[in-house]
Structure 1
Amino acid sequence: MKIVHIDSSIAGHEGTSSILAKSVVDKLVSGQNTQVHYRDLNQENFGHLTDEIFSGFRLEAAERNDVQQAAAKRSEIYIEELRDADVLVLAAPMYNFSTPSTVKAWIDHVARAGISFAYRENGPVGLLNVKKAYVVSTRGGQYAGSGFDHMSPWIEQVLKFVGIQDVEFIYAEGMAGGNAEQSVQVANQQIAELS
C-alpha cells in the first residue's frame, strides 16, 4: 500500500490534527508492507495560485517562463504522488470556518484539467485513482454538518472531482471549548476502528 500523508497545521507536528493524522497513518501501516510519502504544506515553498501560474499550467513546457516552469514541475510532483497512492491522509484543521490556505494552494496545484481531471461529453471525470482519503479535521467549535462547516463539503467535492471517490472525515471538535480531551478520545476511537 502507498500512502500520501499531508499535514497543514500551523502548529506543525505538535498540532492536534497532525498528531491524529499520524495515528491514522500508523494504524494503516500496522502489519502491512506500506510506503508513506509525507509532506508538510507549511514547509513547502509554493505560493497561492496567480494568473501567471495558472496561465503557465495551460502552456506547453517550452512556452513557460521560469516561474511557470517551477510551478508546473511542483504541481506535477504533487499529482504524481497522488497518482501512485492508494490512500491519502490529509490533516486539515479548520481556521476561521475554512481550510488552511496551504491546503487550498496545494489543491490549486493538484486540480489541473487534462492531468488530474478531464472534461468529457457527460461532464468532468476525475483521473486520479486513490482508493480512499481520510481527512482529519480539528475545530475550535462544533461545526460538522452545520452551516458553519464550509470546509468539509468543499474538500470532499474537490477530492471526488479529481477522482478520489471514497472520502472519510475524522473530526476532533470543540477543541477551544473545554472538550479537547474528549474530542481527541472520540477521534482516536474512530481511528482505532479503521481497517
Structure 2
Amino acid sequence: MSTILHITASIRSGESVSRDLSSRLVRSIAERDGAEVISRDLSANDLPFISAERFGANLTPADARTPEQRELAAIADTLIAELQAADTIVIGVPIYNFGAPSTLKAWADLVARAGTTFQYTPNGPEGLLKGKKAYLAIASGGTPVGSDFDFMTPWLKFFLGFLGIEVVAHVAADGIMGEGGEEKIAQAQETALKLAA
C-alpha cells in the first residue's frame, strides 16, 4: 500500500482554498492508489523554530544523543519519518506576504538533516528522498504564482529538489481576492482533479 503525506499550512480552516485544493488531490490519489494518508497540520503551531541546541541534537547520531538531545530531536525524527514513509507528498500552502508561512519554513528547517534527508558529496549536496512525487496546492489572494515577487513557490520546489524530490507538480488559485476570484478557484479545483488523474 502506498502512503500520502498531506501537509497543510493555512491558518484558515474551512475557508482555506489551499486546504480545499490539497484535500481534493489527496482524496483523488488515495482513491486511485488505495493509499494510506498521514496528515500534518502546520497551522497548529506546534513546531519549534530551530535553535543552536536543536540543530546540534538533530546532527548528533541517535545512539550518541544525550537525554536532552533525544528530547530536542524527537519532533524532527517524527517529521523525517513521515517524509521517508510517504510515496507522495501533497502540500497545501498559501502565499503570505510574498513568501511561505513561517510554519512551513520551521518544518523545512527540521526535516533538512545532513546524512538523513540529504548528504554532502564532492559534487555538492545530494538529496536522499528519491523516488517520491510531490504536489503543491497553492493559494494566493494577490501574488501571482510564478511572478517575480512570488518567493514561496520557487523556494519550495527548490527545497524539495534539494531533498531528492524532483518530481513536483502544482495547482494554483492565485489573485483570488480580486475580480473573478470564484472562477479562479473553480478552475483550480478542476485542475487539481486532472493532476491527480
Question: Under a length normalisation based on structure 2, what TM-score does the superposition of the two structures give?
Answer: 0.92
| RMSD after superposition | 1.6
* Aligned residue number for residue 52 of structure 1: 53
Corresponding position: 1:106 with 2:107: yes
Q: Which amino acid aligns with 2:135?
A: Y
Q: CA deviation at 1:49?
A: 1.0
Q: Distance in 1 between matches of 2:167 and 2:95?
A: 21
* Aligned residue number for residue 41 of structure 1: 42
Corresponding position: 1:80 with 2:81: yes
1:129-158 deviation line (CA, Å, top 9, x unaligned):
352100111001142221111111100111
Of 148-157 and 45-54, more deviation after overlay is shown by 45-54
Contact 2:10 2:16 in 1 (8 A): yes
SS at match of 2:89: strand
Q: Which amino acid aligns with 2:94?
A: P
SS at match of 1:160: helix
Q: 1:12 to 1:189 in 2, by over 3 A?
A: same
Contact 1:129 1:163 in 2 (8 A): yes
1:59-115 deviation line (CA, Å, top 9, x unaligned):
24444463x423311111111111111100001100000011110000111111111
* Aligned residue number for residue 31 of structure 2: 30
* Aligned residue number for residue 147 of structure 2: 146
1:25-48 deviation line (CA, Å, top 9, x unaligned):
011112432100011112252211
Q: Which amino acid aligns with 1:113?
A: A
Of 164-173 and 57-66, more deviation after overlay is shown by 57-66
Q: Which amino acid aligns with 1:146?
A: S
Q: Distance in 2 between matches of 1:71 and 1:162?
A: 22
Give the 4+ runs in structure 1 shifted more than 6 A: none
Q: What number of residue pairs does the alignment pair up?
A: 194
Q: 1:31 to 1:168 in 2, by over 3 A?
A: closer
Q: 1:5 to 1:69 in 2, by over 3 A?
A: same
Corresponding position: 1:175 with 2:150: no
Question: Under a length normalisation based on structure 1, what TM-score does the superposition of the two structures give?
Answer: 0.92
* Aligned residue number for residue 188 of structure 1: 189
Corresponding position: 1:89 with 2:96: no
The percent of aligned pairs where both chains have the same amino acid is 38
Q: Distance in 1 between matches of 2:28 and 2:57?
A: 40
Q: 1:142 to 1:44 in 2, by over 3 A?
A: closer
Q: Distance in 2 between matches of 1:101 and 1:64?
A: 29
Q: Distance in 2 between matches of 1:122 and 1:31?
A: 38
Contact 1:10 1:42 in 2 (8 A): yes
Contact 2:143 2:149 in 1 (8 A): no
* Aligned residue number for residue 132 of structure 2: 131
